[in-house]
Amino acid sequence: MSDADSCVFCQIVRGALPATKVYEDERTLAFMDIQPASHGHTLVISKAHAANLLELAEPDLLAAAATTQRIARAITKALAPDGLRIAQLNGAAAGQTVFHYHVHLIPAWEGQRVAIHGRERAKPQELAALAAQIQAALTS
> Taking 80 as the threshold, does the pLDDT of residue 50 lie above it?
yes
- Rounded to an integer, the average pLDDT of 126-134 is 97
Domain count, the chain: 1
Domain that holds residue 33: 3-139
pLDDT recorded at residue 2: 62
Task: Please report the pLDDT score of residue 27 as a whole number.
Answer: 98
- Does residue 56 have a pLDDT over 70? yes
Residues annotated as catalytic (active site), given as ranges: 102
Closest CA to 8 of 49, 42, 54, 39: 49
Tens digit of pLDDT for each residue in 1-25?
Answer: 468 789 999 999 999 999 999 999 9
Could you write out the DSSP letters of every residue in 29-96? EEEE-SS-SSTT-EEEEESS--SSTTTS-HHHHHHHHHHHHHHHHHHHHHH--SEEEEE---SGGGT-
pLDDT at 38 over 80: yes
- Mean pLDDT score across all residues of the chain: 95
Alpha carbon 61 to its chain centroid, in Å, reads 14
Q: Is residue 41 scored above 90 in pLDDT?
A: yes
Distances (CA, A) of 26 to 33, 60, 92, 114, 119: 21, 10, 28, 31, 31
CATH of the domain at 33: 3.30.428.10
Q: Check whether 53 has a pLDDT greater than 60.
A: yes
pLDDT at 96: 96
Per-residue pLDDT at 80 exceeds 80: yes
